[in-house]
Amino acid sequence: GQSLEQPSEVTAVEGAIVQINCTYQTSGFYGLSWYQQHDGGAPTFLSYNALDGLEETGRFSSFLSRSDSYGYLLLQELQMKDSASYFCAVRAAGNKLTFGGGTRVLVKP
Amino acid sequence: DSGVTQTPKHLITATGQRVTLRCSPRSGDLSVYWYQQSLDQGLQFLIQYYNGEERAKGNILERFSAQQFPDLHSELNLSSLELGDSALYFCASSAQQTTGELFFGEGSRLTVL
């Protein structure tokens, strides 16, 4: 099966940088995704890394190291609207997309 | 708006009952996924369909079943409901069978009393 670990909560101030780490154990790894979910809302796709390296999309960047079974999501220039839960998810053998438990990010003024 | 439509948005029912949740994927998407999210929990994968066929199965209870119809909409049937089945049920769709990018509907919130 698959297992993913990410911190449960992170607090930071507006304008700061936050890094959310995700480590995973899986078989047949294809890629690592990141999703954002505001309270009461639907998860929305942020990024997908299939290969090692850094992918940048605006203020958000995602990194993957397949050899270390590790990835992270970097949130830069934090804004109040970035307060949400962030989930890493592994695409692995059997077509499953398995989600981690989520990291709640609280942005303070 | 992701383009994925789920109905009903809210549902309140009693233990022992049966409910059906419906999902219409984005236009053109062949793959449909169902996830369960309990209060303050992560997303638990239930099942995936691709073009009408089951492709992957998670920890879906035997009391739960799903199917994808020829018009690609999907239904998740929950029977003999228990209090612990109260949760948000999300449907997601994708164009490809294997991808990390899913488009989620707004969810169906089920409350079992």
Report yes or no: A51 at the B interface, CB cutoff 8 Å: no
Work out the pLDDT band at B42, boundaries 50, 70, 90.
confident
Say which of B98, B103, B106 has its CB closest to residue A95: B98
Report yes or no: A29 at the B interface, CB cutoff 8 Å: no
Chain segment A56-92, per-residue pLDDT in tens: 989 999 999 999 999 999 999 999 999 999 999 998 8
- Please check the confidence at residue A3 and state whether its pLDDT lies above 80: yes
Q: What tokens were used for A11?
A: 């607090």
CA–CA separation, A63 and B110 (whole Å): 36
- Determine, for residues B43 and A94 on separate chains, whether the beta-carbon distance falls below 8 Å: no
- Determine, for residues A96 and B58 on separate chains, whether the beta-carbon distance falls below 8 Å: yes
pLDDT at residue number B46: 95
Chain segment B70-86, per-residue pLDDT in tens: 999 999 999 999 999 99
- Please check the confidence at residue A95 and state whether its pLDDT lies above 70: no
CA–CA separation, B91 and B76 (whole Å): 9
- Determine, for residues A96 and B97 on separate chains, whether the beta-carbon distance falls below 8 Å: no
Q: Kindly state the average pLDDT of the residues B75-99.
A: 92
- Which residue in B49, B89, B99 has the most chain A C-beta atoms within 10 A of its own C-beta, making it the best mutation to test that interface? B99
Q: Kindly state the average pLDDT of the residues B25-49.
A: 92
Q: Kindly state the average pLDDT of the residues A97-108.
A: 94
Q: What is the percent of chain A where pLDDT is above 70? A: 96
Q: What tokens were used for B18?
A: 């049966």
- Determine, for residues B100 and A95 on separate chains, whether the beta-carbon distance falls below 8 Å: no
Chain segment B2-31, per-residue pLDDT in tens: 899 999 999 999 999 999 999 999 999 999
- Report yes or no: B48 and B92 within 8 Å, Cβ to Cβ: no
- Please check the confidence at residue A96 and state whether its pLDDT lies above 90: no
- Other CB atoms closer than 10 Å to residue B28's CB: what's the count? 9
| Sign of the CA dihedral running A27, A33, A38, A41 | negative
